[in-house]
Structure 1
């Protein structure tokens, strides 16, 4: 009999170890937007047009104990008639996996441009809202908040 090398076999333990290695690499890689990514997302929303601070109210708590469900309200100061109609309000963040949070669309029939929701936040960061007006202008508001227990940390 000759000693031939055995073909390598793949065991369940090998597959599990490989899967754990892949999961560790995915977990270790940063999965956050950056302030530059948020700025790029805002530029995409505005088409590169300049924005003006004011005319928009962003209500979010400055100190958040749990990032799993953070209340957010955004309101535009608008008569919702003529050129003073808010077409859309977009909300952006700088440290979650994606810089886009939400886009709320309105028309002259909306009566007022306001929206409330809850968002998940993974870290302390700046939230920015941008309102697209019917006359082509853009209004902005920002709020900085501190998150003591980020979302996705609890077991």
Structure 2
């Protein structure tokens, strides 16, 4: 089924359909395209990543939750989630302390969106996972350690 979707998009029909949906106002270009913070995704250290995101000193918060398994049997596919009960949450990011690049995922949330994201990340080794949340002009963080038994970042 995934191959069918890819083939439709490759033929140009998919692009035409997306164009028609955008023209009709059903989808908006900003929704379909992700924002790319190149400096944050290329940063090697946690401090550099936080600086690139504009979050030099995030505050610990019990209103931010990072979820994932206590032990990941395969570091190549680790399910991780972030939820925020902080009103006005506009950004959620997942950072992995011991990965070659700390920033694993970043999500920009439009106003009125439920602050809950789920994804899968690669982890090269046991590490702390940080859920970074922006609400207003402030950044908040929560941490969870996930133990990895089989490496995922080239391991």
Classify the TM-score, shorter chain.
0.5 to 0.7
CA RMSD of superposed structures (Å): 1.8
Deviation at 1:49, TM superposition (A): 4.4
1:117 is matched with 119
CA pair 109-53 structure 1, distance change in 2 beyond 3 A: closer
Secondary structure, counterpart of 1:40 in structure 2: helix
1:53 is matched with 61
1:72 is matched with 80
Quick one: distance in 2 between partners of 1:47 and 1:75? 18
2:99 is matched with 96
TM-score of the superposed pair, with normalisation by structure 2: 0.66
2:145 is matched with 144
2:90 is matched with 87
Can you list the C-alpha shifts for 1:31-79, whole angstroms capped at 9, x where unaligned?
Answer: xx87xx113312332343442332101001111111111001110013x
**Could you list the runs of 5+ residues in structure 1 that have no partner in the other structure?**
1-32, 79-83
2:46 is matched with 38
Quick one: distance in 1 between partners of 2:77 and 2:118? 12
CA pair 63-108 structure 1, distance change in 2 beyond 3 A: same
Can you list the C-alpha shifts for 1:94-131, whole angstroms capped at 9, x where unaligned?
Answer: 11121111111112231x11100001111111111110
Quick one: distance in 2 between partners of 1:70 and 1:40? 24
Secondary structure, counterpart of 1:108 in structure 2: coil
- Greater relative contact order, per chain length (Cα 8 Å cut-off, separation 6+): 1
Q: Which has the larger radius of gyration?
A: 1
Q: Of residues 54, 62, 75 in structure 1, which corresponds to 2:70?
A: 62
